[in-house]
Amino acid sequence: MKNKLIVTLTTVRGSRQYSLGQVARYIVALVVVLFATSFFISNWFLVKTSDDLSDLEEDHEQLNDQYEMMLGTQNLYKNELDQLSVSLSRVASQRDKLQAENIRMGDKLYEGNNRLGELHATLGASLSGLEALLNVEPSSDMSKERLESLTMMANQRLFMLNSIPNGVPIQAIRISDGFGMRMHPIRKKRVMHHGIDYKANTGTPVYSTADGVVESAGNKHDGYGKQVVILHGFGFKSSYSHLNKIEVSSGEFVHKGQKIAESGNTGKSTGPHLHYEVRHLYSKINPAPFVAWNIANFDTIFSTVKSVKWASLKNLYPLNQTVQP
């Protein structure tokens, strides 16, 4: 009897006793130990996961603030440029009229000169703002010709920035992987990674990085999951993969900053994220210089991305217009 475990079960019909041998007792003891161990390990993982989640939420809030400053920068630039252009045109027009009046009305010359000085000061401040926006060398020239030259330069830059992918495509938690060779998380071998992976919760809005037309939208079952490919100007394309939801269709025209999809975890993916690529013709190129490209550092892209034959752009209208800031 000493090597047996007696188990008594009591019901409304009475009690019954069952005896378990030594092996059965070991099995029961092992189950209890395993249960207790799994309970403590689960609690430890829960506490650790909660701490990691808190850190991620804090990082996400910080990135939200940064993203709000980055997303749609070209629209902000364009609005500021439009306001400056209107102001400069009005000031220049008033100055020209006042100069004509000074010629015709000698008795009001003193008053006119004072007013002209004020207009020159306003014009100078506006031109300085436009120079700062374009990141060009400041000049004391406040002529109408300089205004026209700076305005043309700004319009040319905005045209390019609306035609070629630039800026960030998603309000991400962080960049989880960049362009280049890496250890593939599923295939477990070093392969080329042709884009940037943005870690983001499922359902995070995805935006087009330039004007264009949707070349394809759907699930090609090729590992990229649900994907949108947009054809832009000058032979560029951008692609957005592993999406959860697509909000555009093939052949549809889209504009820069337009919501085209929501991020997800479709295809061959180890977690919710956006895989973003930039292509020129049939070549996949590093998206990082294009993500950082804006109206202030406009010229940097031509020296950073050497695989594109930028020099031939000078022959294209409206880019072939003379600009001498």
Asked whether 290 and 217 are in contact (CB, 8 A), the reply is: no
User: Pairing mode, if any, of strands 253-254 and 259-263?
Assistant: unpaired
pLDDT tens digit at each of 325 positions of the chain: 455 666 676 776 777 766 666 556 667 777 778 877 877 787 777 777 777 777 767 766 766 666 655 555 556 566 666 666 666 566 556 555 545 554 444 444 344 444 444 444 555 556 676 777 777 777 766 677 777 788 888 888 889 999 999 999 999 999 988 887 766 666 666 778 889 999 999 999 999 999 999 999 999 888 899 999 999 999 999 999 999 999 999 999 999 999 999 999 999 888 999 999 999 998 999 999 999 999 889 999 999 999 999 988 877 766 766 654 4
Handedness of CA 53, 55, 56, 61 (dihedral sign): positive
What pTM did the predictor assign?
0.63
Query: What residues form DSSP beta bridges with 18?
Result: 7
Bond prior to 318 in cis (omega within 30° of 0)? yes
Displacement of CA 79 from its chain's centroid (Å): 20
Nearest to 272 by CA among 280, 281, 259, 263: 263
Phi, psi of 304 (to 5 degrees): -80, -45
Question: Which residues are CB-contacts of 273 (< 8 A; sequence separation ≥ 6)?
Answer: 172, 176, 197, 198, 199, 200, 242, 263, 265
Q: Look up residue 274 and give its amino acid.
A: L
| Whole-number pLDDT of residue 318 | 67
Distance between CA atoms of 267 and 86, rounded to whole angstroms? 50
| Whole-number pLDDT of residue 109 | 38
| Whole-number pLDDT of residue 184 | 63
Q: Structure tokens of 206?
A: 């995805």
Question: Which residues are CB-contacts of 256 (< 8 A; sequence separation ≥ 6)?
Answer: 74, 75, 161, 162, 167, 208, 209, 210, 211
| Whole-number pLDDT of residue 147 | 77
| Whole-number pLDDT of residue 316 | 79
DSSP state of 1: -
Q: How many CA atoms lie within 13 A of 60 on its CB side?
A: 15
Burial call 213-231: b when 16+ CB within 10 Å, e when fewer: ebeebeeeeeebbbbbbbe
| Whole-number pLDDT of residue 86 | 64
CATH (residue range 174-311): 2.70.70.10
DSSP state of 313: G
Nearest to 254 by CA among 211, 207, 218: 211
Asked whether 4 and 17 are in contact (CB, 8 A), the reply is: no
Q: Any idea where the domains of the chain sit in the sequence?
A: 1-51, 73-163, 174-311
